[in-house]
Chain A
Amino acid sequence: MIIGIILGCFLVSTFLLVIAKRITALVHAFRMQSVFLFLYTLYMSIGQQSTELFAVCALVLALKVVIIPLVLMRITRRINTEEDLGLLINPQISLVVAAVLAYLSYLFTYNAMGLAHSSASIAFVASMAAASIGFFLMVSRMKALGQVVGLLVMENAIFLAASVITGGMPFFAEIALFFDVLVFVVIVEVFVYKVNRLFTHIDTSKMQSLKG
């Protein structure tokens, strides 16, 4: 019952990422998705009574809900760019694509796992849908920050999928993953800042040709 609602919120916030037109809205939606990921891990760790899972849960809260959105907002402020995300595909069509992706992930889960009504299959559906939507965000958003958020969404989704399939990875693997993501975000911050100073924009569609 509770798990269904949390995962429903997770999927809704994933769809919120798709209709976001501005960078701030995108980051807020990402933060919302991370909050539901945190609630999911919290629910799991209460169910399993394991200290390691509680630690992972605290890491999710600290890193994905607080630090990464803050860093992303800081880049947005520092590079002083306009808020527009540079949508290749407008929000309505993006929603159609996202619904199709969600359908495909339902179909995949249905054929691969066949577990109707179990919370594991719902979580798997949500994570598959979020992963493919994150990938779609990376493809269809021209600004570098949109692509970064797309990658982070995929990371969230894969975290969810891993916790569903394996029932919690080894603690060290989790820690390593979290620091990987943290380092990724910090590097991206520097990188985007440099790109913006060099090219005066972060629009990747304008970086196809060589600059003389």
Chain B
Amino acid sequence: MIMTCKVLLICLSAPLVSGMIRKMKNIVRMRKGPGILQPYCDLMKLFSKEEVVSKNVSWIFYASPAIVFSSGISALLLILIASPGYQDAGSFAFLIAAFFVLGLGRFFQALAGIDAGSSFGGMGSSREMFISSFAEPAAFISIFVLCVSGPGTPVFSFFLAAAALFMVILAETSRIPVDNRETHLELTMVHEAMLLEYSGPSLGLIELTGHIRQMIFFTMLSWYLFPVARAGSLGWILFGLRIMAIILAVALVEVSVAKMRLFRVVDFLSFAFFIALVASIAAGLGV
């Protein structure tokens, strides 16, 4: 019962988090910007629209939004099983499984990007896979930090792992140093290029999954930055505050950093990988 509430709450609040990040960026830039509920309006608009589909697509194009959405939901369930409070010895395996399930969703999204045969879709897919192939090792190694750390809260290794995971999150949720969500400029877009062919409810489903994926990553980051778990209503309030802190960090990074060239992303993410490696060594030796 509690689990169901959690899943529903996280799914429903996921667009709000995106809206808050956007609002915060606009406040820092001294702009007004849309309200924090704008993502909900966008989703409602998309779901009520008619869908236009290219004649040249195969079944993959139709199946992908559903697969992407279900992979996002399953990953959310998996990480909630492994969250602090529910943990037992084997539950870290669910975390790794969650990443693979998210990978399945990304695989189908990339296929759907190629499927329509437009030049931008293929470019977006290849770039997305290029970035994710560098992001995934770093994400896995920083998960291992959580797995190998013994009793107590080793702040040092957790913090290093959190730094690595934060960089991975910027890449995975297509944030500014790696990708830019707000632009549809053909030379720079990565994630958006892959979704160009989608419209209407399918696009809405994929966008909703994007919000949920972001929430999954933020939840995981919050375990590293604030390792102490609380139960009950205090736990919920603390969870909200933690997510708020992460939102603030992401928004500040996004307004203060310039977007990188695509091939600089390799340096960025390999940096994350080695920080995570050092963190896992520290956790393994118990420092």
Q: Chain A residues in contact with chain B, CB under 8 A? A: 1, 4-5, 7-9, 11-12, 15-16, 19, 21, 91-92, 95-96, 98-99, 102-103, 106-107, 109-110, 116-117, 121-122, 125
* CB-CB nearest in chain A for B152: A117
| A125 touching B282, Cβ below 8 Å | yes
Q: Which of B26-34, B182-190, B268-276 contacts A (4 or more CB under 8 A)?
A: B268-276
**Which chain B positions have C-beta within 8 A of A21?**
267
Other CB < 8 Å A-B pairs besides A95-B270, A106-B281, 19 of them?
A: A1-B155, A4-B154, A5-B159, A8-B156, A8-B159, A12-B160, A12-B275, A19-B267, A91-B270, A92-B270, A95-B271, A99-B274, A106-B287, A107-B285, A110-B287, A116-B287, A117-B152, A122-B287, A125-B287
B278 lies within 8 A of chain A by Cβ: yes
Interface string of B9-24 (1 = CB under 8 A from A): 0000000000000000
A33 CB to nearest chain B CB (Å): 14
**Which chain A positions have C-beta within 8 A of B282?**
106, 125
**Which chain A positions have C-beta within 8 A of B278?**
11, 15, 99, 102-103
Most buried by B among A4, A9, A15: A4
Other-chain residue from B163, B281, B287 in contact with A117 (beta carbon distance below 8 A): B287
A190 CB to nearest chain B CB (Å): 34
B277 lies within 8 A of chain A by Cβ: yes
**Which chain A positions have C-beta within 8 A of B152?**
117
A87 CB to nearest chain B CB (Å): 12
Q: Given the known A-B contacts A106-B285, A122-B287, are A95 and B274 also in contact in the complex, defined by CB atoms under 8 Å?
A: yes
**Which chain B positions have C-beta within 8 A of A12?**
160, 163, 275
Dominant SS at the A interface?
A: helix
A-B contact list, 25 entries, CB within 8 Å? A7-B156, A8-B155, A8-B156, A12-B160, A12-B275, A15-B275, A19-B267, A21-B267, A91-B267, A92-B266, A92-B267, A95-B270, A95-B274, A99-B274, A99-B281, A106-B281, A106-B282, A107-B285, A116-B285, A116-B287, A117-B152, A117-B154, A122-B156, A125-B282, A125-B287
B286 lies within 8 A of chain A by Cβ: yes
**Which chain B positions have C-beta within 8 A of A96?**
274
A34 CB to nearest chain B CB (Å): 19
Dominant SS at the B interface?
A: helix
| B277 touching A117, Cβ below 8 Å | no
B interface residue count range (under 10 / 10 to 19 / 20 to 34 / 35 or more): 20 to 34
Q: Chain B residues in contact with chain A, CB under 8 A? A: 152, 154-156, 158-160, 163, 266-267, 270-271, 274-275, 277-278, 281-282, 285-287
| A19 touching B271, Cβ below 8 Å | yes
Most buried by A among B266, B275, B278: B278
CA distance in complex: A91, B155 (Å): 28
CA distance in complex: A106, B152 (Å): 19
CA distance in complex: A99, B275 (Å): 8
B14 CB to nearest chain A CB (Å): 28
| A4 touching B156, Cβ below 8 Å | yes
* CB-CB nearest in chain A for B227: A1
**Which chain B positions have C-beta within 8 A of A16?**
271
**Which chain B positions have C-beta within 8 A of A125?**
282, 287
Other-chain residue from A1, A95, A103, A116 in contact with B281 (beta carbon distance below 8 A): A103
CA distance in complex: A207, B266 (Å): 33
Q: Given the known A-B contacts A102-B281, A121-B287, A122-B287, are A4 and B267 also in contact in the complex, defined by CB atoms under 8 Å?
A: no
B200 CB to nearest chain A CB (Å): 43
**Which chain A positions have C-beta within 8 A of B281?**
99, 102-103, 106
B125 CB to nearest chain A CB (Å): 25
